[in-house]
Each structure stands twice: as structure tokens, then as C-alpha cells.
Amino acid sequence: MHRPRSVRDADVAGKRVLVRVDFNVPLEDGRVADDTRIRAALPTLELLLERGAAELVLASHLGRPKGPDPAYSMKPVRARLRELLPEGGERVRLLENTRFDSREKANELALAEELAAHADLFVNDAFGSAHRAHASTEGVARLLPAYAGLLLERELAELGALLESPERPFIAVVGGAKVEDKIGVLESLAGRADRVLVGGKMAEEREALAPLGDKLVLPVDAVAAAAFEADAEAREVAVGDVPDGWLGLDIGPRTCEAFAAEIAGAHTVFWNGPMGVFEWPRFAAGTRAIAEAVAACDGHTVVGGGDSVRAVDELGLADRIDWVSTGGGASLELLEGKELPGVAAIPAA
């Protein structure tokens, strides 16, 4: 796996530094609703300020705007950043949403050149966007001396260890809706983990999962519902006994117990994806059971992917997980063994 050179080794004194951050945060009523991603970037920003950078110019996308849109302005993010970074804040400038410019996703050289003109060197700390070859992630890294930020470095170390040197037993837990969405990461994990526990809707696709071999552990029971509704009639049934027309919306209690026992004995755990429709309380028990088992595990634990991260956050368990990844798609692509363009563009250490 490509190991990019670190911001720790960059000479930044008196220089302008362009930093690609991942400030793609949820907004509510014109305010930042969850500042986790902003806080995750602070160590890199503080390091650059401490080492005498003349100016930090920050770039990030926010949401999926079709063009300039006040609903996706970085203004609330800018306000929250000022609160979190009072020391040296006058040397920090946050640009407007990179995706307001259609040239960003097209990775057009002209935009990369405009961004590069702001700075003397480039630091990429946006692991969550590292799998995108965009102007602000990959393009600009070809134009300026480029380095990996502390967050990007840690993400690569944590996820790279799962691929290269996990302490065994290594248990992977993967949930989600469709096998095709995660077949690459399932194949990769099946080749490396001692057990791969599969939950969510995709666990029903037994034929698609069969080629992955006997390392897979599938649910034995489910919480079935008469309709895809939060308050639908529901009952616990064996996997083969879901009534015609009903839907499995969560793993059942026996599966929860079996999965939790596998996790308890692990020395390394990776979890990505919910076990059911956890947004609805009646179908959240499986995801909650996995989150609690991972938090209680004495081994090294890594949680990656949006819904899994959301689950541990909502349950107040994030501080009991060794590493909670900031990247959803980027985490999965890295674990598949794919090259991440935003990482590959940075020279090796």
C-alpha cells in the first residue's frame, strides 16, 4: 500500500499552505449539527500553525450542490471553525464549497491551478474524499509539493493494518442492503479475516455470498415485518421461516448472541454497515447489539462507514472504539485493495 510523505516532514515556516479538509458536515437551521469532522482536522491545522505557517487556506466540499447554492454554503462551518480554533485563527481562511464549481468533480487543470495559486505547498487531510480524483484532492497535488495530513496518515495506518498485519483472531462484521455494493470488500475481507459476520438485507443473498467460502457467518434468525414501515406488525422468526410477503428488517436475538460471542473473542474487529433498519427503533436491536459488542471487545476495534459511525455516535459508544474512520466509501475502497487517487498523488515517504 502506498504510504505518502507526512506533513510532519514538511517545512512550512513562513509559507502559505493549502489544506484539503473534509468539512462535509450536517447542517441544521444554519448551524453545524455535528462538528466531528471539523474537530478531526484540528491536529493538522494546529501543527501547521505551531510550525509558523504564514497562512492556511482550507478547501472542502459540503453536500451535493448542483452549483452555487446558499443551502450548502461554508458560512456555518466557518463560524464553527473560528470557535474551535481561536488561537491563530486570523491565519486561517476557509474557501467556499469546492463543488459550487463544476470543474471540481471533472478534475479540470484550470481549477487545480487556481487553487494552487493560493499556496506554496499542499496538505491533504480529507480521507473521506481521498477516493475521488477531483481538482481539490488529486489535481492540486500534482502542482504543489504535497503531503498527507495527520488524519489521513492515521486512517491509512489503521486501515492498512487490517490488510497487512491484523492481530488474530480477526473478525469482520459487514452489513448493508446489497451484496453487489460491497462484494469487493467482502472478497478482500474473506481472504484476510478469520470470520466475516454478514448482516443486513444483503445476508439474504445466500447464493451471491456462497463463493466467499466457509469463513462467512450468516444470520440464523430475523425480525420480520409485514411491511416496510416503522410501526408494521413484526415478529422474530428463523431465517427460512419469513412469511410470504414479509420483510426481514433486522437480525434476530439468536444471531445477535452468536455474533456478539464471535466479537468477544476477537483480537481485531472491523465493522462496516448496519444489521437492519436501525433508524426505526423496533428494528435497531441488531445494530445496537453489534455496536455494544464491538465497544466491549478487548481487542483492537475499527469502525468504518457512515451508518456504523452514526450508530456508535448515537449510542454514545464512539469513545470506546479504538478508531472510528471518517471515510465511508474511501474506507471500503482501501480495504478492497484499490488505490485512492488523493493518496496516490502524494509522493511516497
Find out whether the peptide bond into 243 is cis, omega within 30 degrees of 0.
no
Q: Which of 150, 119, 36, 45 is nearest to 89 (CA)?
A: 45
Burial class from Cβ neighbours inside 10 Å (0-12, 13-18, 19+) for residue 228 reads exposed
Q: State whether residue 70 is helix, strand or coil.
A: helix
The CA-CA-CA angle for residues 174, 176, 180, to 5°, reads 95
Whether 215 is catalytic: no
Active site residue 306: yes
Please pick, among 89, 306, 337, 338, the residue that the annotation labels catalytic: 306
Burial class (CB within 10 angstroms; exposed 0-12, middle 13-18, buried 19+) of 106: middle
Candidate list 88, 160, 329, 337, residue with the active-site label: 329
178, 206, 213, 265: the catalytic one is 178
- Name 261's Cβ contacts closer than 8 Å, sequence gap at least 6: none
Quickly tell me which residue has 469502525 as its cell. Answer: 303
Annotated catalytic residue, options 37, 132, 192, 201: 37
In the block, cell 492481530 appears at 167
β-sheet bridge partners, residue 225: 234, 247
Is 149 designated active site?
no
254 belongs to the catalytic site:
no
Residues with catalytic function: 37, 178, 306, 329
